[in-house]
Amino acid sequence: MPTPATHDPFAAYTLAEAYDEMFDVRAHPRRPYRKLHRELMNLGPEELGRSKQKVDLSFFNQGITFTVYGRKEGTERIFPHDLLPRILSAADWDVIERGLTQRVNALNLFLKDIYHERRILSDRVIPAEAIFTCRHFRRQMCGVKVPRDAYVNVMGTDLVRLPDGKFVVLEDNLRVPSGVSYMLSSRKVMKQIFPALFRRCGVRPIEQYSQMLLSTLRSLAPEGRSDPTVVLLTPGAYNSAYFEHAYLARQMGIELVEGRDLVVHDNYVYMRTTNGLQRVDVIYRRVDDDFLDPLAFRVDSALGSSGLFSAYRAGNVTLANALGTGVADDKAVYAYVPQIIRYYLDQDPILDNVETLLMTDPLRRSHVVDHLQDFVVKAVGESGGYGMLIGPHSSQEQRQEMRARILADPRNYIAQPVLALSTAPCFVDGAIEPRHVDLRPYVLFGEKTVIVPGGLTRVALRKGSLVVNSSQGGGSKDTWVLQN
Amino acid sequence: MLSRVADSLYWMSRYFERADNCARVIDATHSLMLNRSVVGPDERWVRALTCLGMPPDGYDDDPEAAIARLAVDPGNRSSIVACVTAARENASQVREEISSEMWEQLNRLYHDVLRSEPDAMRLVASVREGAYSFYGVTETTMSHGEGWRFVQLGKFTERACAVSLLLDAYFSGTTQADDLDWIALLASCAAFDSYCKVFTADLQPNRIATFLLVHPEFPYSVRYSVERMHASLEAITGQSPTRHRVRIERVIGRLRASLAYTPVSELLAGDFHMFLHGVLEQCRALHAAVHEAYIDYPIEVAFQS
């Protein structure tokens, strides 16, 4: 066993074509990572192993888990967490912050337009069929006024860094983005594990997220409700993100309600308490559109509350996010976001999109289906890494199946080139190795736009894997944004 | 507090107490079975089944089958396994309201119970152990607010009913009871030691009835349970005044008075079965009144005030 002093923890760290977050092309540590690098040179693998155990235990004790669907027993798992922080410079963060602020503003203007005047369609910036064929377009929302014209109140945009070092947007999550509880609890644990390093690095805080979320939600209350009652609506204890729902409700000090706790009377929403019915003003809903109100949407839903949509239409209750926001994160509509930004804001996008081929385009379609091994194909309405094909890592059968599916329903698929996601050092099986990462910052949009400096860095913990979704074997790491 | 949450806390606690009660009765009956006596084994199991609210039909002569039915039969909604499962199910819906220690304890017990299912008596032992831990943890780690009051209400409502049913089975049954049976009755209520401290080991039916029915300080007596129900209800109605308050107060007040002021000798001389039946009826009425006032009230009523 080599002693820590002589041991080079990075001996096996190989750089490839992807951008590495820690090392530049000459294998020198980049500026934001220097202090961590020095720390790692001094710490032996045993010590890192001990810290890793401490982190895992802490996650276990806090019950930080997620549920994997489609399996019977033991579906509740500890969220895999990597020990080493992902570090972003102030300059990187500045671009991200400005880019996301621009994006959330444009997308909210877009949603307002789509559900009211539809200027963007009559000006032929986006073909109308791209909107009306979208599974998440909600006809019921046409003409409905939402408070502050804020449709997307919580946005979780997935960013990746390309080999040239620039961040691009991989996808927008505008419906019910999750994962923020992992960001918050992971920070809490990391502060206990690396207190000195944390202080030396000058990391910007994220702990204010829950207060920011609460004040965003309060700012969306129906008119005349000066002291609004805010609740969090969960599908219930069996939902994969229940831990997060309970966590956020507790952090904000608001009630965690289920559909059966709500009563709609005369177009007002109440919750059933032991002290009688109490009016509800703002619902931070973590239930999909389809399930919110069996009278307006899916009749078989038991997760929502009858009459909720009618109360919402009447402006007596606010739902955050608004209904129908999914039309803007449809992966085919995503392809038009740069045009959307130019159209509404008359600005160039600060953060670029990933090149996206719509399978409705016959030429591109025939090219893609013949070269599936070179592309990533995604179903437009899905999230969480379901319904996705990674060309180079796929089998002949999978490609044939995908080919048939694309040809049968071209509107449902898009193709993107295979991206070399940036890599970051991870502590895996006692050694430090590079793994692919992405970044999901959380954007709050209400009275003002707020982005806490950080986000959820997701890691593809399997060697060489590009899939970071927790349902597909991904994990997370703490994200440090430096003060300067 | 949300009505659903209060309801889950109440039922978590009731089911837990029911499982514990079932374990005590099986344990006491089982050790009684080891001794010979004038009373046949069949009758004792019939009595055990009766006092756990199960009609003894379908019961065959095999005591092992009776134990299995009481302890592990998933088709029997009052079996220990079914009750522990239901308690855990309710707790999992309100994990944010109970302390993490309570959840851990309940979860551990649930897995213990499932693991020891083939051995019914081991299962009984782990429930009896686990119950004391769970009560201790609940007492010390859960904040004594409204939620805790519903936990208490569930526990003592269940207990008042269970002990009344036990008394009824031993006193109103046709079976002649001997000393061993009286010991089993006391053991079913974890009362043997406490009884001896008050009345010595001289086992007299009227004293046993007095002790289990109206002793003001013994935690398993009906009267003690009713007093605790009263205390919980006072706290609940005090925190959230409702239109049903009067009705709840009337029912609990009458129940308390009948236990506090009726001499037990008079009860035993008269129709003891009817009296116990009355206690059960009033507990049911109370449950209904609380449910209607706090949990599942019609919304028209809620808008009247």
pLDDT tens digits, A286-339: 999 889 988 888 888 778 888 999 999 999 999 999 999 999 999 889 999 999
ipTM over 0.90? The verdict is no
A332 in a structural domain: no
Encoding tokens for residue A362?
């016959």
* pLDDT score, position A432: 93
Nearest 5 degrees, angle CA A260-CA A263-CA A266?
A: 160
Using a CB-CB distance cutoff of 8 angstroms, which residues of chain B are in contact with residue A59? Answer: none
Contact across the interface for A261 and B2, Cβ inside 8 Å: yes
Which of A61, A76, A274 to probe the B interface (max B CBs under 10 A)? A274
* pLDDT score, position B301: 74
The CATH number covering residue A272 comes to 3.40.50.11290
Per-residue pLDDT averaged across B233-237, rounded?
91
Paired with A449 in beta bridges are A445
B299 inside 8 A of chain A by CB: yes
Contact across the interface for B242 and A277, Cβ inside 8 Å: no
Contact across the interface for B299 and A256, Cβ inside 8 Å: no
A278 inside 8 A of chain B by CB: no
Counting residues of chain B whose pLDDT is more than 90, the rounded percentage is 59
Closest-CA residue in chain B for A260? Answer: B4
- CA A225 to chain CA mean position, Å: 31
Contact across the interface for B96 and A246, Cβ inside 8 Å: yes
- C-alpha to C-alpha distances, A467 to A381, A412, A421, nearest whole angstrom: 18, 20, 10
Per-residue pLDDT averaged across A44-53, rounded?
89
A323 in a structural domain: no
**Beta-carbon contacts below 8 Å between A and B:** 52
Using a CB-CB distance cutoff of 8 angstroms, which residues of chain A are in contact with residue B92? Answer: 237
The CATH number covering residue A377 comes to 3.30.1490.270
Indicate the residue among A316, A345, A367 that finishes a domain.
A316
Encoding tokens for residue A437?
């990462």
- For residue A237, give the nearest of B93, B100, B294 by CB distance: B93
- CA B293 to chain CA mean position, Å: 23
A440 in a structural domain: no
| A227 and A307 inside one domain | yes
B301 inside 8 A of chain A by CB: no
A7 in a structural domain: no
Indicate the residue among A376, A391, A417 that finishes a domain.
A417
**Phi and psi dihedrals of A30, rounded to 5?**
-70, 160
Contact across the interface for B95 and A257, Cβ inside 8 Å: no
Contact across the interface for B2 and A276, Cβ inside 8 Å: no
A256 inside 8 A of chain B by CB: yes
A216 in a structural domain: no
* pLDDT score, position B67: 84
CA distance B94 to chain A (A): 8
Indicate the residue among A366, A398, A417 that finishes a domain.
A417
A31 in a structural domain: no
The number of domains in chain A is 2
A403 in a structural domain: yes
| A240 and A291 inside one domain | yes
A175-225 pLDDT tens trace: 999 999 999 999 999 999 999 999 999 999 999 999 999 999 999 999 999
A29 in a structural domain: no
- For residue A274, give the nearest of B93, B95, B240 by CB distance: B240
Using a CB-CB distance cutoff of 8 angstroms, which residues of chain A are in contact with residue B240? Answer: 273-276
> Is the pTM above the cut of 0.90?
no
Domain hosting A273: range is 223-316
Does the pLDDT of residue B138 top 70, yes or no? yes
With cut-offs at 50, 70 and 90, classify the pLDDT of residue A445. Answer: very high
A368-423 pLDDT tens trace: 999 999 999 998 877 666 778 888 888 999 999 999 999 999 999 999 999 999 99
